[in-house]
C-alpha cells in the first residue's frame, strides 16, 4: 500500500516540480534535473516508510544507517556512473553551453552540435550525421571550445601572388574580392596582410568574420576563395604554381643543344 501511494505521490510531485521549475529556469535540462531530484526524494522517503512498516523492530536511525552503508557500497561499484552523474549536474548548473551549440572537446576527436544534455551523457550530432553519446565526465575533464558562443567566427586563408606583381595592388584586389562576398560580415574588419616570402610567391594572410557553424565556415571559405581567384584573374595578377629555377655555370660540362641539332 505504501509503495503504491509513493508511486502516485512521486508521479504528481514530478509533474508539479517540472511546472514550477519550468517557470524559474528557461533551460529544459536543468528543469528536468530538479524535477528528477524531487521524484527520487519522494521515492526515498516512501521506501524508508515501507521499510519501517515491514521491519518494525528497526528504528528509523538504523534504517537510515543501513541505507547509508548500502549507498557507499553502490558508490564504489558504480563509480564511473556516479562520476558522469555529478559531472552532468555541474554541466547543467553552470550553463557552459546550450542545446544547439556546436562544441569541440580539445584533446579528443569529439565535436558536434549539442542535441540534448542528460544527467549521465550529452548527445552530439556530427556534421556527417552521426550521433555521439559522450559521457559527461569526458566533457568535464577536458577544455571545451564552444564555437557558437557568439553569432560570428573569424577564419583565415592564405593567398599567394607572383614576385613580379605589385604588393599594394594585389592587396587591394584581394580585399575588394572578400568584401563582395555576402557570407562575410560587413560590420567586422577584413584584414589582408603580406605574410611571407614563400618559395614561389608573396603570401597574403586574409582574415574575415562569418557565421559560427562549420557549415557557415565552409560556405564562406568556398565563396571567398572563388572571389579572390576571380578578382586576381580579372586584374591580370598571376597566382603562381611552384617554380624551379636551374642555373648553369659557363664552365659546366653540360652542353645545351637546340632541338634542330637533335633532329640532325
Whole-model pTM?
0.65
Which pLDDT value is given to residue 242? 79
Give the E-state strand segments of the chain in sequence order. Answer: 102-105, 110-117, 121-125, 131-135, 144-146, 153-161, 191-197, 202-210
Q: How many residues does the chain have?
A: 264
- DSSP designation for 243: P
- Mean pLDDT confidence for 216-222: 96
Q: How far is CA 28 from the centre of its chain?
A: 21
- Residue-range domains of the chain with CATH: 2-77 (no CATH), 96-146 (2.30.30.60), 153-234 (3.30.70.100)
Cα Rg, the chain, nearest whole Å: 33
Average pLDDT across the chain, whole number: 82
Q: Which residues, in sequence order, are bridge partners of residue 204?
A: 159, 194
- Mean pLDDT confidence for 217-230: 97
Cα separation, 169 vs 158, in Å, equals 17
Phi, psi of 161 (to 5 degrees): -125, 160
- Mean pLDDT confidence for 135-160: 91
Cα separation, 177 vs 155, in Å, equals 16
Q: What is the pLDDT of residues 33-81, one digit of tens each?
A: 677 777 777 777 777 777 667 666 655 566 566 556 555 555 554 556 6
Amino acid at each position: 500500500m505504501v509503495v503504491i501511494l509513493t508511486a502516485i505521490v512521486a508521479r504528481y510531485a514530478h509533474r508539479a516540480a517540472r511546472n514550477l521549475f519550468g517557470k524559474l529556469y528557461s533551460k529544459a535540462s536543468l528543469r528536468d534535473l530538479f524535477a528528477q531530484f524531487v521524484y527520487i526524494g519522494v521515492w526515498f522517503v516512501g521506501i524508508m516508510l515501507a521499510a519501517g512498516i515491514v521491519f518494525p523492530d528497526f528504528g528509523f536511525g538504523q534504517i537510515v544507517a543501513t541505507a547509508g552503508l548500502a549507498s557507499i557500497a553502490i558508490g564504489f561499484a558504480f563509480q564511473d556512473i556516479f562520476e558522469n552523474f555529478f559531472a552532468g549536474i555541474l554541466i547543467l548548473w553552470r550553463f557552459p553551453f546550450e542545446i544547439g551549440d556546436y562544441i569541440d572537446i580539445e584533446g579528443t576527436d569529439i565535436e558536434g552540435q549539442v542535441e540534448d544534455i542528460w544527467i549521465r551523457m550529452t548527445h552530439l550530432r556530427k556534421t556527417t550525421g552521426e550521433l555521439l553519446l559522450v559521457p559527461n565526465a569526458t566533457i568535464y575533464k577536458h577544455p571545451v571550445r564552444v564555437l557558437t558562443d557568439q553569432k560570428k567566427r573569424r577564419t583565415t586563408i592564405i593567398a599567394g601572388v607572383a614576385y613580379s606583381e605589385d604588393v599594394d595592388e594585389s592587396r587591394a584586389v584581394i580585399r575588394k574580392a572578400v568584401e563582395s562576398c555576402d557570407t562575410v560580415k560587413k560590420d567586422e574588419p577584413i584584414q589582408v596582410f603580406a605574410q611571407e616570402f614563400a618559395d614561389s610567391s608573396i603570401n597574403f594572410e586574409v582574415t574575415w568574420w562569418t557565421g559560427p557553424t562549420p557549415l557557415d565556415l565552409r560556405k564562406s571559405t568556398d565563396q571567398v576563395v572563388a572571389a579572390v581567384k576571380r578578382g586576381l584573374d580579372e586584374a591580370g595578377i598571376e597566382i603562381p604554381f611552384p617554380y624551379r629555377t636551374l642555373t648553369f655555370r659557363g664552365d659546366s660540362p653540360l652542353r645545351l643543344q637546340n632541338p634542330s641539332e637533335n633532329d640532325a
